Amino acid sequence: MEKVTIFGLRAILEAIQSEKPIDKVWLLKGTKSPLAEQLMHSLRAKNIAFSFVPVERLDRFSDKNHQGAVARIAAIQTHEMEPLVEKILASKKNPVFVLLDGITDARNFGAIIRSAAATNVDAIFIPSSGSAPLNGDVVKTSAGGAFNVPISKVQHLKDVIYYLNSHEIPSLGLTEKGNKTLFEQDLKGPIAIVFGAEDIGISKGLLKILTDQAKLPMSESIDSLNVSVACGVAFYELVRQRMLS
């Protein structure tokens, strides 16, 4: 699915009001007007990623009247966090929720979604900033999985953890800091499993509020696995334990 680019403050506002799946918005630095303020309020309210850029960046679209604002429509529709969680909890006894912290590579993201779809993961949560865009590359790499696993963009992943905690759903971070291996964990009940970027892992603030941590055993000569591979290992350990229960 190809990305669609739209131009102009009012056009972007109309897209938001029409519930179009907006991936990201770029605004000209120093833009000040009532319409720009209204747009920024809507972007924050909907947890849509946006950034301020110099005019040179927007002038890439010089054949268009961008009016200091450009938006990219995502290839995948996202879901609001709370209604999505409530819907899943109402229909499934032991759901699996996945949180991706700082996964910025589109192909890794797509591969994770593909594995999640294959193993019946119930939902994936990503932050609205600092995450791979939901674009055509993700859809292609996911081999259609992007249309089978609900994805929710949130302002802070901590909000997801706190909300799941309120429903007594434990959270497990996959990190080399874990004292036990993933294979020693009981994964048969409802769970939220958290993965971080390969270079820095799960952010310290998020790691601090998780219920538990676990690691994947590996050779001392290797620091980490590709994150999509780590996700695949974890998802199939979930499947294995649940098949035996």
> Is residue 222 predicted with pLDDT exceeding 80?
no
pLDDT band at 77 (very low <50, low <70, confident <90, very high): confident
- pLDDT digits 0-9 by tens, 92-112: 999 999 999 999 999 999 999
pLDDT band at 198 (very low <50, low <70, confident <90, very high): confident
> Is residue 62 predicted with pLDDT exceeding 60?
no
- Of 148, 136, 138, the C-alpha closest to 103 is 138
Query: If DSSP codes are grouped into helix, strand and coil, which group holds residue 156?
Result: coil
The per-residue pLDDT for 136 is: 65
Q: Are strands 171-174 and 191-196 parallel, antiparallel or unpaired?
A: parallel
Average pLDDT taken over every residue of the chain: 90
Q: Phi first, then psi: give them for residue 122, nearest 5 degrees.
A: -85, -30
Going from the N-terminus, what domains does the chain have, and what CATH number goes with each?
4-73 (3.30.1330.30), 81-244 (3.40.1280.10)
First to last CA, the chain: 40
- The secondary structure element, H or E, covering residue 206 is helix 204-209
Distance CA 171, CA 97 (A): 9
Mean pLDDT for 222-231 is: 86
- pLDDT digits 0-9 by tens, 157-197: 999 999 999 999 999 999 988 889 999 999 999 999 999 98
Q: Phi first, then psi: give them for residue 186, nearest 5 degrees.
A: -85, 110
What stretches of 76-203 show up as alpha helix (H) in DSSP?
81-91, 106-118, 136-141, 157-166
The per-residue pLDDT for 134 is: 83
The per-residue pLDDT for 2 is: 54
Here the tokens at position 123 are 């939902």
Query: If DSSP codes are grouped into helix, strand and coil, which group holds residue 218?
Result: coil
- pLDDT digits 0-9 by tens, 12-35: 888 888 777 888 899 999 888 999
What is the four-CA torsion angle of 28, 30, 33, 36, rounded to 10 degrees? 40
pTM score, two decimals? Answer: 0.79
